[in-house]
């Protein structure tokens, strides 16, 4: 299995453990494939204009990153509106939800001038509290509306076997139900891709997890059943993603019918006062770094180049005692960094709180991947001070890898103890 997909799958399969009983009273929304609301008036008007150039942002996690519903729907638009030209903004990062999306929105989406933003975070937000989803999703909507009032937005919802129980009973899962509250308030169309998936599952005609049949005998044994995905999460492009495409195509008719004349979308008062409209992604060079931190060249350094699309800058520290520090006024702070085989651990100190040791290595660190180091959330909107120090002590890498039956077969690969910060994720303002 692709290592990036392995991480995304593991994160998703752990979601049920985060669905606390305290959240069981959150009202689930009746399942409906499409709620067109105010439609996409600007997008459809521009698509009908000969020679128009439209950019669609696909903003989501690993299911969107696949060669699935994203390229399939882009091709559908090009076929449906042949006199216009369509291109994609691929803003999908596996294993991430709206809590990172709200910070990277400007860099990964808005700076590329989208005409339509399709937001897919319901699966990766499956373990998030509704209140956190409100803050992040409304922050995404309000940033888009403020920066590009002529840009239309759509919420799209995907599904995994682990999150399917409410859908089998005719209800949206909790995360999609929470997102519907934001969609209702702002008149944003929403499409749930998986109603037909749930219908097949209820009828006993869906195989959630299996390879696609290859031989005639395998096809005959499958009968009229549909194999959804190889891992119960990431649909096969030939089957699960085709079901997603069909749901999208069906939704276009009501969404287009609901779309009036082109309009500059108004920005009403916020529904959630503590939403993350002020979310920022700031280069890590905004912090004060000790001399042990070395900036990587994002154009010539091979390691730096591999992350340049997502990280504006990247520092490397591999000597214990290296420190980062900064001050901010705001309510949430994190570091956008990398986990990997060479990851060490850091000591994080926020204000006068007791320091916390955080490993930058976990059971999936056989490769490097983007991650976030949370400093603090739901903080008082006052001035805060942050210090992060790289420690000499190593995480127990062998023990962590053993959680997935992995072994350290090449010790040199895991010998270094590094910290790779790339950006500050901040709801608020950085202070000198």
- In this structure, the answer to whether residues 17 and 163 fall within a common structural domain is yes
Same domain for 293 and 242: no
> Which CATH number belongs to the domain containing residue 406 in this structure?
2.60.120.260
Asked whether residue 265 is assigned to any structural domain, the reply reads no
Q: Among the residues of 189-318, which ranges form H helices?
A: 195-202, 216-222, 240-258, 302-305
Q: 145 vs 59, 114, 137, 197, CA distance in Å?
A: 16, 12, 12, 33
Same domain, 230 and 341: no
- In this prediction the pTM is 0.92
pLDDT of residue 6: 45
- Say whether both 92 and 206 belong to one domain: yes
The answer to whether residues 322 and 191 belong to one domain is no
The residue-averaged pLDDT of 407-417 equals 96
161 domain-assigned: yes
Q: Using a pLDDT cut of 90, give the percent of the chain over it.
A: 94
Average pLDDT over residues 169-193: 98
The answer to the question of residue 269 being in a domain is no
Quote the longest CA-to-CA distance of the chain: 69
* Cα(298)–Cα(307) distance, integer angstroms: 8
Residue 190 lies in a domain: yes
Would the pLDDT of 12 be above 90? no
User: For 296-405, where are the E strands, in sequence order?
Assistant: 315-316, 323-339, 345-350, 356-359, 369-376, 382-390
253 shares a domain with 115: yes
Statement: residue 346 has pLDDT above 90: yes
Q: What is the CATH number of the domain that holds 140?
A: 3.40.50.1110
**Domain contains 267:** no
Judge if 393 and 252 occupy the same domain: no
Last residue of a domain, one of 258, 288, 307: 258
**Same domain for 350 and 251?**
no
Task: Flag whether 271 is in a domain.
Answer: no
Tokens of 18: 């985060």
**pLDDT given for residue 18 in this prediction:** 42
How many domains are there within the chain?
2
- Residue 118 falls within a domain, yes or no? yes
**Phi and psi torsions of 145, nearest 5°:** -60, -40
| Separation CA 365–CA 371 (nearest Å) | 11
Give the pLDDT score at 25.
80
Q: Are residues 254 and 392 in the same domain?
A: no
Structure confidence by residue, pLDDT tens digits, 54-72? 999 999 999 999 999 999 9
- Model confidence at 20: pLDDT above 60: no
**Helix (H), strand (E), coil (C) string for 135-189:** HHHHHHHHHHHHHCCCCEEEEEECCCHHHCHHHHCCECCHHHHHHHHHHHHHCCC
214 and 324 share one domain: no
Q: Are 239 and 289 part of one and the same domain?
A: no
Predicted pLDDT at 24: 60
Quick: pLDDT tens for 350-394.
999 999 999 999 999 999 999 999 999 999 999 999 999 999 999
Q: What is the pLDDT of residues 101-120, one digit of tens each?
A: 999 999 999 999 999 999 99
Assess if residue 263 is contained within a domain.
Answer: no
Residues 109 and 191 in one domain: yes
Mean pLDDT of the chain: 94
For residue 407, is pLDDT > 50? yes
Q: Domain span at residue 311?
A: 279-431
pLDDT in tens, 138-158: 999 999 999 999 999 999 999
């Amino acid at each position: 299995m692709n290592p990036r997909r392995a991480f995304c799958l593991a994160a998703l399969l752990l979601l049920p453990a985060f669905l606390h009983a305290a959240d069981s009273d959150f009202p689930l929304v009746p399942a409906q494939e499409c709620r067109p609301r105010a439609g996409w008036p600007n997008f459809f008007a521009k698509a009908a204009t000969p020679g128009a150039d439209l950019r669609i942002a696909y903003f989501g996690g690993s299911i969107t990153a696949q060669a699935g519903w994203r390229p399939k729907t882009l091709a559908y638009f090009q076929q449906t509106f042949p006199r216009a030209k369509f291109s994609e903004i691929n803003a999908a990062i596996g294993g991430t939800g709206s809590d990172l999306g709200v910070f990277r929105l400007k860099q990964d989406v808005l700076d590329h001038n989208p005409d339509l933003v399709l937001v897919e975070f319901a699966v990766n937000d499956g373990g998030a509290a509704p209140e956190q989803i409100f803050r992040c999703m409304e922050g995404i909507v309000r940033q888009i509306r403020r920066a590009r009032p002529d840009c239309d937005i759509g919420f799209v919802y995907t599904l995994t076997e682990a999150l399917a129980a409410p859908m089998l009973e005719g209800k949206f899962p909790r995360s999609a139900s929470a997102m519907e509250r934001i969609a209702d308030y702002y008149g944003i169309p929403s499409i749930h891709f998986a109603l037909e998936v749930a219908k097949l599952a209820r009828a006993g005609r869906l195989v959630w997890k299996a390879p696609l049949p290859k031989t005639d005998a395998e096809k005959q044994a499958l009968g009229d059943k549909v194999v959804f995905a190889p891992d119960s999460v990431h649909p096969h492009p030939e089957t699960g993603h085709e079901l997603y495409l069909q749901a999208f195509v069906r939704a276009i008719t009501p969404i287009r019918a609901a779309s009036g004349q082109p309009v500059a979308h108004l920005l009403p008062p916020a529904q959630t006062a503590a939403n993350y409209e002020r979310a920022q992604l700031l280069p890590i060079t905004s912090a004060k770094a000790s001399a042990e931190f070395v900036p990587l060249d994002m154009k010539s350094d091979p390691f730096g180049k591999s992350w340049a699309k997502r990280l504006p800058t990247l520092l490397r520290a591999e000597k214990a005692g290296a420190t980062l520090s900064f001050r901010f006024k705001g309510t949430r702070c994190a570091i956008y960094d990398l986990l990997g085989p060479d990851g060490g651990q850091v000591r994080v100190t926020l204000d006068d709180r007791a320091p916390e040791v955080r490993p930058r290595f976990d059971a999936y660190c056989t490769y490097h991947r983007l991650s976030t180091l949370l400093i603090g959330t739901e903080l008082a909107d006052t001035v805060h001070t942050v210090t992060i120090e790289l420690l000499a002590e190593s995480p127990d890498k062998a023990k962590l890898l053993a959680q997935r039956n992995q072994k350290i077969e090449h010790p040199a690969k895991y010998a270094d103890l590094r910290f790779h910060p790339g950006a500050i994720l901040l709801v608020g303002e950085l202070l000198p």
